[in-house]
Amino acid sequence: MLDIAFKNLAEHKLRTFLTVLGIAIAITAIVALGSISAGMKEIVHSSLKQMGSDTIIVMKHIDITYGPPQIREIDEDIANEIAGMDGVELAVPVVRTNYLGIVPILGINFEDAALFNIEDVDFKDGGWYDDEEYGCVIGKNVAEERKLGVGDEIEINGKKLDIVGVFEAGEIKGMNYIIAMPYTVAQDVLDMKGKATMIIVKPTDIKYTSSIKHQIEEEYDDMQALTTQDMLKMASEITSTVSIVTLGIGFVASIVAAIGIIITMLNSVHERKRQIGIMKAIGANRLWIIIEVLEESLIVSIIAGIAGLVAGSVMVSFVNKYVLAGFNIASVTPELAAFAFIYSISLALVFSLYPAWRASTIDPIEAIRD
């Protein structure tokens, strides 16, 4: 039966090509747009691994009404106050900038690095700084992009820092884009004496986590204390909004492609009215005809699905490499690829049902007489 479908498609090469092209573009859009939210999700989960499950991060409320989120300064003395609260083992002020486009700076003393799960990153060269040293360690991507190594100096805001180590963080991708330096050095470089951007709080026991959170939020109006769960929730809210918007766009585009499928298949059925009539006259039943039409659209959608996946992946790697300068925000995950491919096939099959049904109701006598 498949040979009939192939023959029909081959007879109308241009028509088949255009139909495939329409679906393929829609699948490309779904893959390219979907990769943004998939990539965001990956980054969020990998950065959450930086924190132990019991740590609490305290920072000021972030405002996104006016442009991208900005990190706001906190008085570092607050860390001492929090350290005095019940159930708190440790409260460490940290400087962490996170402007997109500028290399993020992490100001944390080596003795506190364990709080960020970064004390045992692999050093490709050199090693951790002394907390009294005016130096820094850089992630491997920073080193590659700026062509810097141990012994070089890096200039930030007009201040020169010695690079004492180049490290590679395995699982936590984002770390490779960071410049880490002792806490007071970061304050000096960023000109924020006495200020931190967040405070990391470690409870004496995980069971105190939520009571510490409430204590902090009650004490300081403008602060938020985020547990790992809070952050997971926030992150999934953001990524799901992005998913809805991006997939929504892809979905609308695919509806247009689906219209193309209906039109092509109706035309194909119409042109083969006589052929289908004869098939029925010599004994083909309605189901047989329906399957035969669906086969045609199945072939179209498989080709289109593969083409769309390839084009989408190429586009994503291009954007990652040239537009996002190596910071891989967009990512084509296996789930996304599988979804796009299955979606392509289901779309074609669902929208071919009507043309297939039309074909199955052709009256053989009328069709042959025409």
Partner 1 sequence: MLYEMVARELGRNHLRSALTILGIGIGIFLVITLSSFSRGIEQNIENDLKYMSGLITVVQKGIGFQNYMFSKIDNGVVEELKDIAGVEEVAPVIITRVSGFGPVMGMDPEHFDMFSGIEVGFEEGREIERDAYEVMLGHDIAEKLKLGIGDYITLNGIKLEVVGIFKKTGTEDDNAALVSLDMAREIADMKDEVTMVMIKPENVEDAKSVAEEINSMYDDIRAASDEDVRKYAHKLTSQLNILTFVIGGVAAFIAGIVIMNVMIMSVRERRREIGIIKAIGASNMQVLGEIMIESIIMSIIGAGIGIAMSFFAVYLINHMLAKAIAVITPELLIEAVAFASTIGLLAGILPARQAARLDPVVAIRYE
Q: Which is nearer to partner 1, 239 or 254 (CB)?
A: 254
Is 314 among the residues that bind partner 1 (CB under 8 A)? no
Site size toward partner 1, by CB under 8 A: 34
Is 326 among the residues that bind partner 1 (CB under 8 A)? no
Q: Which is nearer to partner 1, 28 or 109 (CB)?
A: 28
Q: Per-residue string for binding with partner 1, 59-98, x by CB under 8 A?
A: --x-x-xxxx-x-x--------------------------
Q: Is 327 left (phi over 0), alpha (psi -120 to 50) or beta?
A: beta
Q: Applying CB under 8 A, which of residues 2, 100, 244, 252 lies at the interface with partner 1?
A: 252
Expressed in percent and rounded to 5, the helix, strand and coil fractions of the chain are 60, 15, 25
Considering only 26-34, 118-126, 131-139, 342-350, which stretch makes contact with partner 1 by CB under 8 A?
A: 26-34
> Helix 2-11 and helix 13-48: axis angle, to 10°?
110
Rounded CA-CA distance 58/41 in Å is 22
Give me the torsion for CA of 296, 15, 261, 343, rounded to 10°.
70
Q: What are phi and psi of 12, to 5 degrees?
A: -120, 70
Is 195 among the residues that bind partner 1 (CB under 8 A)? no
CB 219 within 8 A of CB 84: no
Nearest to 127 by CA among 165, 163, 162: 165
Is 324 among the residues that bind partner 1 (CB under 8 A)? no
Q: Applying CB under 8 A, which of residues 21, 90, 238, 291 lies at the interface with partner 1?
A: 21
Is 308 among the residues that bind partner 1 (CB under 8 A)? no
What is the H or E stretch that residue 142 is in?
A: helix 140-146
User: Which alpha helices (DSSP H) does 156-272 contain, by range?
Assistant: 183-189, 209-219, 228-271
Pair of tokens at residue 317: 């790697």
Is 203 among the residues that bind partner 1 (CB under 8 A)? no
Q: What are phi and psi of 162, to 5 degrees?
A: -75, 135
Q: Applying CB under 8 A, which of residues 85, 231, 232, 266 lies at the interface with partner 1?
A: 266
Q: Which is nearer to partner 1, 55 or 264 (CB)?
A: 264
Rounded CA-CA distance 121/234 in Å is 27
Is 33 among the residues that bind partner 1 (CB under 8 A)? yes
Q: Applying CB under 8 A, which of residues 2, 206, 256, 281 lies at the interface with partner 1?
A: 256
Q: Applying CB under 8 A, which of residues 184, 210, 267, 313 lies at the interface with partner 1?
A: 267
Would you tell me which residues interact with partner 1 (CB under 8 A)?
A: 14-15, 18-19, 21-22, 25-26, 29, 33, 61, 63, 65-68, 70, 72, 191, 221-222, 249, 252-253, 255-257, 259-260, 262-264, 266-267
